[in-house]
Amino acid sequence: MENRRRKLSYVQISRAVAILFVLLGHVNTLFYTKLRYDWFNMGEWEKTGGVDFFFIVSGFMIYYLYHKHAGVPGKTTEFIWKRVIRIYPIYWLVTLFLIALTLISPSKFEGYSWELIIKSIIILPPIPIVDSAWSLCHVMFFYLIFSAFLFQPKIFKPIIFIWIVATVLIGIKLVPYSEKSFIFSFSSLEPLFGCFVAYLTLKYTFKHSTLLISIGLLGFLAVWVNNIYHFMHLNESAFFAVFSMVLMLGISEKDKKDRKVPKLLSFLGDASYSIYIAHASLLHLFLFLLIKIHFVGFLGSFISMAIVILLTIVTCCIIYKFIERPISKYLRKVVFMKKNRSVEIPIGIAK
């Protein structure tokens, strides 16, 4: 029997952890590119695992919150509206800001083609103008798949299953596929793994949650150590995905009891999307400013990186509190009040 839906305090924090892993990878890449400095050679790593964990957390939360809506009339439209309100407003603002920079100072910022602008506004692959949001293309594709599942689960369940099998077979090269495909990429599959973890945690009880979390963390650590010392060649995405699933299973099991978490960590979880969207541009901005005022040479690269990280996180939190949250709250009120009124009118006439 499924557990009663509860407040996901630890899962909320895991959203922040996932995005901070992504930020950590990007800031090290930036410092390595600009200053030939990074922490533990992270600037040369292919990935830190943050994006993989982000995909797993995203899939987990969507399935956990909306799986009971499958086949219920009107719930697919509601889901799509909620996702649009959540994703697009702050993303469009950051995108328009970057486009505006090319118009204000074309000598310093390279312009964008109309094709890229249109693709970026819609959020189409491969890489939008907000380049750190490439993973958002995969998340939007997942939302499309999940919307189909909500709309007609009996029809789309087998179709989704066939797609999963095909993607796995292509990924392990049992089925030849010459081109690197977005639709059949491993990144497009990872949110479904998160859905599977949510299904497991809703359906079953796992007694050894601490052990699961430990295995997940040690797995991440093992891949990181391998990235530093190059013991062997690993399929990093596959390993990070597996350990992310184990970690997420342990975290969600912990959340079956009411947990009190520090308000700061909970707030960072709320602000995780603003951090995700805005952090890359802000990292460049703050490093540019530190170099311009000669602080990097004075403070050293280590302290400079710490300051850039802190300033970026604080600024993203301000963006969340004063821009993203008010806009989202207003749009939800407008959209769902209007929908409720349209439903209530026939009832009033009937009376």
pTM comes to 0.91
Q: Would you say 123 and 94 are in contact if contact means Cβ atoms under 8 Å apart?
A: no
d(CA 169, CA 172): 5
pLDDT in tens, 52-67: 999 999 999 999 999 9
Q: CB within 8 A of 62, min separation 6: which ones?
A: 142, 143, 146, 191, 194, 195
169-183, 244-258, 288-302 — which is least confidently predicted?
Answer: 169-183
User: Within a domain: residue 350?
Assistant: no
CB-CB neighbours of 258 under 10 Å: 8
pLDDT value at residue 2: 45
User: Within a domain: residue 2?
Assistant: no
What domain range is 237 assigned to?
9-342
Q: pLDDT at residue 184 above 70?
A: yes
User: Within a domain: residue 4?
Assistant: no
User: Within a domain: residue 349?
Assistant: no
User: Within a domain: residue 137?
Assistant: yes
User: Within a domain: residue 215?
Assistant: yes
Phi, psi values for residue 266, rounded to 5°: -65, -40
Total domain count, the chain: 1
User: Within a domain: residue 3?
Assistant: no
Confidence of residue 348 (pLDDT cuts 50, 70, 90): very low
